[in-house]
Chain A
Amino acid sequence: MSTARATFTERWRQLPDVVQRLALPALVLLLAILYPWYFGGLPGAFPAVETAVIMLIFTVMALGLNVVVGYAGLLDLGYVAFYAAGAYVAAWLASVQFEQVTFHLGSIGIVDTLPGIHISIWIVLVAAALFTTIVGVLIGLPTLRLRGDYLAIVTLGFGEIVPQVVRNGDDFGGFDLTHGTFGISPIDSIGFGNTLNDTLGLPASYQTSTNRAELFYLTALALLLFTVFCSVRLRDSRLGRAWIAIREDETAAAAMGVPLMRTKTWSYATGAFFGGLAGAFYAVFKSGAFPSDFFFNFSIFILCMVILGGMGSVWGVIVGGLVLSYLDREGLAKVGSFASDVLNRPIDVPKYAFGVYGAIIVAMMLFRPAGMIPEKRHRLEIDEGVESAAVASAEQGGDGRRGDG
């Protein structure tokens, strides 16, 4: 047995670097893709597919906020504003909200004469993300001149302003923009339509499909993968380095020639983009944009995911996002019913949700202040030529050893 294991380890080491490096992510990805199909055989603690969709969407938001808070070090307490903006763009562009006009573009599952704007959800997702990016820039331009705590307070303000506008936006001089506290519902279904269904077998409409949860799950997973890809690429780019320089020392970054306002605004816009994308997708999944979703504590909830996972660490934030959103949507309720069974009296654990999150954050700060998976700051692309030249010059100037300053 032990020899068999030794040979396995040996063989594993002989495999190319690429295989060794990508094996684990590939396995995780495979397990994630297949989750809806083996979920039935798992113990009851695992989240339902519907819950998993929401977990993935919230994780996309956490990764977006991670660009602002983790990479650039800008404390944003109003992230919910972008979530709301994305959700309402989806609602405006794919519902009967604006019944004054009748405009259809690639809409599916509804008759062409239905009033209101009805644009294909795929286009709506892009439009929502771009619109929210613009909102991010508009909020960012006046506020990002502030530093540290002052920025946090002003973003907190915007995080309140947007939901209030949404809640009271049913009568702008007689014009109903947001339908007030009722929210906008239903939102058109996402799907590929009958033509593509007939020719390629793609699902015509998610909402009416028998595999509704699975389809939303796979689409949300694709969104998450896209977000992860962008997060990693941005982190290793020139822009990403500028963000990290600003986080490390803003004045020094300026002295190195990093344009502060432009660089910070880009981080804000990027965070807003993913917030809007996730918000729009969530609204489509729920088939509605409801103002009761957009409270201040949601900003803190997403921020907790980033802190719990590890600010700036993509993999950490994914874990943090999945864990906290699982607890929020299903985990705490399950703990509650389990505790109720054992103790034989009703205990409502979800009621104490924010107490639990608070305790988690305090415990994290005490025992793992850098998060569950701390950010590793390392260079990926160390140039061989630079390396050897450096070693050579180090050897030439070997007299550099002197006492400390």
Chain B
Amino acid sequence: MSTTATDRGTDSGTVVLELNDVHTYYGAIHALKGVTLDVRAGEIVTLIGANGAGKSTTLRSINGLNHARKGAIRFSGRDITGAAPHSIVKMGIAQSPEGRRLFPRMSVYENLEMGAFQRKDRSNFKGDLDRVFQLFPRLAERRQQKAGTLSGGEQQMCAIGRALMARPKLLLLDEPSMGLAPIFVEKIFEIIVEINQQGTPVLLVEQNALMALDVANRGYVLETGRIALQGEAKDLRQNERVRQTYLGET
């Protein structure tokens, strides 16, 4: 990985996304027990933690698929805690959901088109499509192929590309490395950094803590629905507890 957090500096820009004491439930199950975090302009922020710690739930609270029962979520200064998923997308939060969730019987092109569903300005559609195809030349080759027949890595590219078609002001990525061969993981992370350098802040949920902390500016460690640790990514990387629990180092 050529680019790291230290290269790009970690100046704290304006706060784009802010979660304040967010509690989210699945029925009676208390999944998030007061999560507070923020993402600032120009940053990659990563959320790491074990299975079931609440990483995906945090994203589902942000994008409106699972509303927080308590606490507040603000995006660009507006309260979006109880907003409908489609209006949140309209405000500028796009995502590559957990498990990619492409439309399997639609072509790559149609999937990308669905990404731009909430956009009013159809005029820039071509330009954005070119941008996605430049980031992922593989998708350009396979534009007419059914998304369900792509390989895992290509599907992930398609999912990220689809999110970019919304021209997001904040990009949520849920486990982009899941189930991918190491060579693809590296490629995906390179592209995440590239997207971020083009000006989009990224909230990255990852189980692959090593890679995530490598590319991120800051990180949060979730444990059973609470933020256990937070800080600069390079500090977390050195943290004894993180190293033992999430990086498998001794």
Q: Interface on A for B, CB 8 Å cutoff?
A: 238, 241-242, 244-245, 248-249, 251-260, 377, 379, 382-383, 385-386, 389-391, 393-394, 396-405
Q: Is the Cβ of B126 less than 8 Å from the Cβ of A248?
A: no
Report the minimal beta-carbon distance from B77 to chain A, rounded to whole angstroms. 21
Contact of A398 (CB < 8 Å), options: B101, B107, B129, B137: B137
Report the minimal beta-carbon distance from B215 to chain A, rounded to whole angstroms. 18
Q: Could you say which residues of chain B place their CB within 8 Å of the CB of A397?
A: 133-134, 137, 140
CB-CB contacts of B171-188 with A at 8 A, as 1s and 0s? 000000001110110010
Report the minimal beta-carbon distance from A40 to chain B, rounded to whole angstroms. 46
- In this assembly, does B103 line the interface, its C-beta being within 8 Å of a C-beta of chain A? yes
Complex CA–CA separation, A258 to B119 (angstroms): 11
Q: Could you say which residues of chain B place their CB within 8 Å of the CB of A238?
A: 117
Complex CA–CA separation, A394 to B145 (angstroms): 15
Complex CA–CA separation, A223 to B98 (angstroms): 45
- In this assembly, does B220 line the interface, its C-beta being within 8 Å of a C-beta of chain A? no
Contact of A248 (CB < 8 Å), options: B105, B133, B187: B105
- Chain B CB within 10 Å, residue with most, of A255, A379, A396: A255
Looking at chain B, what size class is its interface with the partner chain? 35 or more
Q: Tell me whether A245 and B103 are in contact in the complex, defined as CB-CB below 8 angstroms, given that A251-B65, A256-B114 are known contacts.
A: yes
Q: Could you say which residues of chain A place their CB within 8 Å of the CB of B101?
A: 249, 251-252, 255
CB-CB contacts of B158-196 with A at 8 A, as 1s and 0s? 000010001000000000000111011001000000000
Q: Is the Cβ of B104 less than 8 Å from the Cβ of A248?
A: yes
Q: Is the Cβ of B86 less than 8 Å from the Cβ of A404?
A: no
Q: Is the Cβ of A402 less than 8 Å from the Cβ of B143?
A: no
Given contacts A257-B86, A400-B137, 7 further A-B contacts (CB under 8 A): A254-B65, A255-B95, A258-B117, A390-B143, A391-B140, A402-B187, A403-B184
- In this assembly, does B153 line the interface, its C-beta being within 8 Å of a C-beta of chain A? yes
Q: Is the Cβ of A379 less than 8 Å from the Cβ of B156?
A: no
Q: Is the Cβ of A256 less than 8 Å from the Cβ of B162?
A: yes
Q: Is the Cβ of A400 less than 8 Å from the Cβ of B136?
A: yes
Q: Is the Cβ of B129 less than 8 Å from the Cβ of A396?
A: no
Q: Could you say which residues of chain B place their CB within 8 Å of the CB of A245?
A: 103, 106, 114, 117
Q: Is the Cβ of B89 less than 8 Å from the Cβ of A256?
A: yes
Contact of A393 (CB < 8 Å), options: B63, B110, B133, B187: B133
Q: Is the Cβ of B103 less than 8 Å from the Cβ of A252?
A: yes
